[in-house]
Amino acid sequence: MNHNSVAGNENNHTAAHVHRDDVGAKLGMWLFLFTEVLLFGGMFLAYAVYRYQYPDQFRIAAMELNTGIGTLNTVILLTSSLTVALSIAAIQKKNKFLSILMLSLTVVFALMFMVNKYFEWMAKIDHGIFPGSEELLGRPNGQILFFGLYYVMTGLHGLHVFIGVIVLLFMLYFLIKNDITPDNYTKLENAGLYWHLVDLIWIFLFPLFYLIQ
C-alpha cells in the first residue's frame, strides 16, 4: 500500500535508507484501540444488564450526579478533540507554531477535565458516597451498583485522560525537537487517535450516567 521510502542522501546510496510504513503504524494503533473498545465494552455491558434490572434505582441514584459539571466536561473534551485535530492539520500545512499551540491547548483542556472530575468526586466522597461506605451500603442494591459502576467507569476513563496527557506531552516534545515534521507526523496522528477514543468513550458515559431523568 502506501509505503513511504525516504532515501537519506541521493548522492550516496550507501547512506542510511529509512523505511517507513505509515499505514501499518496507524493500523497497529487501531488494533490497540479495538482492545480498548472491548475493555470498556465489557463495562458498558455490565452497566446495561444492571440498568435493565434496576431501572428505578439507577434513575434515583443518577439524580445525585451534577449534570452541570458533566455537561461542562463534555464541552471541554469535545473542544480538546478539536484542538488535537487542528494540531495535526497545522503540521500537515507546515505551520509548526500553530501545531504546538493547538497541542498545548489540548493538554490544558485535558487538565481542566481532570480538575472538574476531582471536584466532582470529592463532593460525592464528602457526602459519604463511595464504594464500601456506610452511607452507600445502607442503600438498595441498584444504587450501590450504579455508584460502583460510576466510580469504575469514570475512574478508568480518567486514567485514560491522564495517560493521554502524558502521551500528548511527549508529542509536544517531539514537535519542538522536530521529530514530528510536515513529512513525518504519524506519531502525532496516532496520539490523536488515542485522544479521540477517550472523547468517544465519554460521549457514551455522559448520557448513561448524567442524563438519566
Partner 1 sequence: MENKKHIIGYNAYIIVWLSLLALTAITVSVAGIHLGDYTLLIAMFIAAIKSALVINIFMHIKFDEPIFKVFLALSGLTLLIIFVLTFFDFIYR
| Angstrom distance (rounded) from CA 121 to CA 127 | 10
| SS3 label, residue 20 | strand
Q: What burial letters (b/e) apply to 170-209, b meaning 16+ CB within 10 Å?
A: ebbebbeeeebeeebbbbbbbbbbbbbbbbbbbeebbebb
Residue 38 binds partner 1 (CB under 8 A): yes
Residues 177-206: x where in contact with partner 1 by CB under 8 A, - otherwise, as a string: ------x-----x--xx--x--xx--xx-x
Smallest separation, CB 52 to partner 1 (Å): 7
165 touches 138 (CB < 8 A):
no
H and E: helices and strands count for the chain: 7, 2
198 touches 163 (CB < 8 A):
no
Residue 12 binds partner 1 (CB under 8 A): no
Residue 127 binds partner 1 (CB under 8 A): no
| Angstrom distance (rounded) from CA 170 to CA 6 | 24
Q: Which residue lies nearer to partner 1 by CB, 2 or 137?
A: 2
Number of chain residues interacting with partner 1 (CB under 8 A): 48
Which of 15, 18, 23, 159 forms a contact with partner 1 (CB under 8 A)? 23
134, with CB counted inside 10 A (0-12, 13-18, 19+), is: exposed
Smallest separation, CB 138 to partner 1 (Å): 27
Which of 92, 104, 116, 133 forms a contact with partner 1 (CB under 8 A)? 92
Smallest separation, CB 152 to partner 1 (Å): 18
Per CB under 8 A, residues contacting partner 1 are 1-2, 4, 6, 22-23, 26-27, 30-31, 34, 37-38, 41-42, 45, 48-49, 52, 67, 71, 74-75, 78-79, 81-82, 85-86, 89-90, 92-93, 183, 189, 192-193, 196, 199-200, 203-204, 206-208, 211-213
